[in-house]
Amino acid sequence: MVRFEVADWPTGLVEHFYLAFGASDAGIVMTGLNRHLRRADRKWSLKQWLLSAVIVVSFSALSGCATPPPASDPDAVAEFNETNDPFEPANRQIYAFNSTLDTYLIRPLAIVYRDALPQVVRTHTHYALANMGLPVQWVNDMFEAKPRRAGDSFMRFVVNSTLGVGGIFDVATDFGWPDHDADSGTTLALYGVPSGPYIYLPVFGPSSPREGIGMGLDSLINPFTWVGHGAVDADLGYARIGISALDTRSSLLDDLDKITSQALDPYATIRSLYRQHRESQIEDTRHYDEHTIPAWFPEQMRKPHQTPGSAGVQKQ
Amino acid sequence: MTTSSKPRSNTSRRHLLAWFATVAGLTITRSAHADASADSATAFMTKAVAELTSVVNGPGTMPEKAAGLQAIIERMVDVNSVGRFCLGRFWRTASPDQQKSYIEQFHRVLVSNITSKVGEYSGVDISIQKTFTREDGIVVSSQVARPNNAPAKVDWLISTESGQPLIIDVIAEGTSLRLTQRNDYSAFLSRNNNDVGALIAALKQQTVETTKAQ
Question: What is the residue-wise DSSP string for A91-134?
Answer: HHHHHHHHHHHIIIIIHHHHHHHHHHS-HHHHHHHHHHHHHHTH
A261 and A127 together in one domain: yes
Q: Does residue A142 lie within any of the structural domains?
A: yes
Minimum distance, in Å, between the CA of residue A201 and any CA atom of chain B: 20
Question: Where among A9, A44, A69 does a domain terminate?
Answer: A69
* pLDDT tens column, B31-45: 556 667 788 889 999
Q: Does residue A110 lie within any of the structural domains?
A: no
pTM of the predicted model as reported, rounded to 2 decimal places: 0.76
Return the number of CB contacts < 8 Å for A and B: 83
Give the one of A22, A276, A281 whose C-beta lies nearest to B176's C-beta.
A276
Question: Where among A40, A69, A98 does a domain terminate?
Answer: A69
Stretch A242-260: mean pLDDT, rounded? Answer: 84
What is the model's pLDDT at position A30?
42
Least confident of A206-215, B84-93, B146-155: B146-155
What is the model's pLDDT at position A303?
53
Q: A35-49, A77-91, A188-202, A213-227: which has the highest mean pLDDT? A: A188-202
In B, which residues are within 8 Å of A114 by CB distance? none
Instruction: Compute the distance between CA of residue A262 and CA of residue B210 in angstroms, rounded to an integer.
Output: 8
**Around Cβ A68, how many Cβ atoms within 10 Å?**
11
Please say if the pLDDT value at position A60 is more than 60.
Answer: no
Q: Does residue A44 lie within any of the structural domains?
A: yes
Please say if the pLDDT value at position A269 is more than 90.
Answer: yes
* pLDDT tens column, A30-54: 444 444 444 444 445 554 555 566 5
Query: Any CB–CB contact under 8 A between A280 and chain B?
Result: yes
A64 and A132 together in one domain: no
Answer yes or no: do B148 and A119 touch at CB < 8 A: yes
Answer yes or no: do A277 and B210 touch at CB < 8 A: no
Range of the domain at A12: 1-69
A172 and A281 together in one domain: yes
Query: What single letter denotes the amino acid at residue A24?
Result: S
Compare all CA atoms of chain B with the CA of A68 and give the residue at the minimum distance.
B190
Cα-trace Rg, chain B? 24
Tell me the percentage of chain A whose pLDDT exceeds 90. Answer: 46
Q: Does residue A156 lie within any of the structural domains?
A: yes
ipTM greater than cut 0.90: no
Least confident of A32-36, A55-59, A89-93: A32-36
The better pLDDT of the pair B47, B4 is held by B47
In A, which residues are within 8 Å of B174 by CB distance? 276-277, 279-281, 283-284, 311
Stretch B180-198: mean pLDDT, rounded? Answer: 94
Compare all CA atoms of chain A with the CA of B213 and give the residue at the minimum distance.
A261
User: Helices A231-251 and A27-38: crossing angle, nearest 10°?
Assistant: 150
Total residue length of chain A: 316
A residues 224-263 lying closer than 8 A (beta carbon) to B: 254, 258, 261-263
A128 and A266 together in one domain: yes
Compare all CA atoms of chain B with the CA of A82 and give the residue at the minimum distance.
B183
Give the one of A262, A310, A314 whose C-beta lies nearest to B153's C-beta.
A310
In B, which residues are within 8 Å of A280 by CB distance? 173-175
Instruction: Compute the distance between CA of residue A291 and CA of residue A306 in angstroms, rounded to an integer.
Output: 11
Split into its structural domains, chain A has a count of 2
Q: A9-18, B81-90, B111-120: which has the highest mean pLDDT? A: B81-90
Backbone angles phi, psi at A44, to 5 degrees: -95, 125
What is the model's pLDDT at position A226?
79
Stretch B72-81: mean pLDDT, rounded? Answer: 93
Please say if the pLDDT value at position A316 is more than 60.
Answer: no
In A, which residues are within 8 Å of B196 by CB distance? none
Q: Does residue A297 lie within any of the structural domains?
A: no
Least confident of A3-7, A44-48, B83-87, B185-189: A3-7
Closest of A259, A258, A279 to residue A268, by C-alpha? A259
